[in-house]
A and B are shown apart, each in its own frame.
Chain A
């Protein structure tokens, strides 16, 4: 059972377009992370957001944590073929201790040259 729902599940767009991926839950998380996973590899951390309403930018990627800390979004500007991959959001309930990650269902992004 996955508590984090991502949408869309699949997204295929042309190079240069903008896109937004959503991660929603009915649960409150102390932190929300975004990962990117390439075929045959494990997820790689892109960013962590911890404060409600927080916005972080990583080059052309903008991440936002919802005010209530139940949802998050990833916006990519001027998508490039190198952005192709599986994007996963993952939440942690606690701020401390050892915390397993609760992953979302994933968004498979394909950027067409």
Chain B
């Protein structure tokens, strides 16, 4: 596809359920980022991959959050035992290389809106 796609677009989970959110980056993009955007706030960094390697996971809020990108393309963000404070929009972004700092544009997907009841 032409852009970053994410699925599902909406997810309602009962507290305690596990969820898996998928990101398909732009084809050929090496770097992939996950951000969490709470209602009325700006996005906050969760984790970053370069190819299949997870190079930075400093933003993951707890050990209930786990991300993977096993083949260096599609990525999955998994949240175990969801809690109400996990309700947010989860955004995925990709860049072509990831070595150029601001010179490389991060292209964002539409996000997955997660609501935990």
Which A residues are closer than 8 A to B by beta carbons? 2, 4, 6, 30-31, 33, 40-45, 48, 50, 88, 90, 92, 94-106
A31 to B100, CA, bound (A): 12
Which residues of B, 63-107, contact A by the 8 Å Cβ criterion? 91, 93, 95, 98-102, 105-106
A99 to B33, CA, bound (A): 10
Residue of A nearest to B109 (CB): A42
Q: B56 at the A/B interface (Cβ < 8 Å)?
A: yes
Contacts of A105 in B (CB 8 A): 41-42
How many interface residues does B have (CB within 8 Å)?
A: 30
User: Given that A42-B4, A100-B33 are contacting pairs, would A95 and B101 also be in contact in the complex, using a CB cutoff of 8 Å?
Assistant: yes
Residue of B nearest to A50 (CB): B102
User: Given that A42-B109, A42-B110, A98-B31 are contacting pairs, would A103 and B101 also be in contact in the complex, using a CB cutoff of 8 Å?
Assistant: no
Of B41, B106, B110, B111, which is within 8 A of A106 by CB? B41
Of B31, B45, B93, B108, most buried by chain A (CB within 10 Å of CB) is B108
Which B residues are closer than 8 A to A by beta carbons? 4, 9, 31, 33, 35, 40-45, 48, 50, 55-56, 59, 91, 93, 95, 98-102, 105-106, 108-111
Contact yes or no, A31 B102, CB < 8 A: yes
Contacts of B105 in A (CB 8 A): 45
Contact yes or no, A92 B102, CB < 8 A: yes
Contact yes or no, A98 B42, CB < 8 A: no
Contacts of B110 in A (CB 8 A): 40-42
What 6 pairs across the A-B complex have the smallest Cβ distances? A42-B108, A103-B42, A31-B102, A98-B98, A100-B45, A95-B101
Contact yes or no, B44 A99, CB < 8 A: no
Contacts of A95 in B (CB 8 A): 101-102
A96 to B103, CA, bound (A): 8
User: What's the nearest-Cβ distance from chain B to residue A91, in Å?
Assistant: 9
User: What's the nearest-Cβ distance from chain A to residue B96, in Å?
Assistant: 11
Contact yes or no, B42 A31, CB < 8 A: no
Contact yes or no, B101 A97, CB < 8 A: yes
Contacts of A106 in B (CB 8 A): 40-42
Contacts of B111 in A (CB 8 A): 40-42
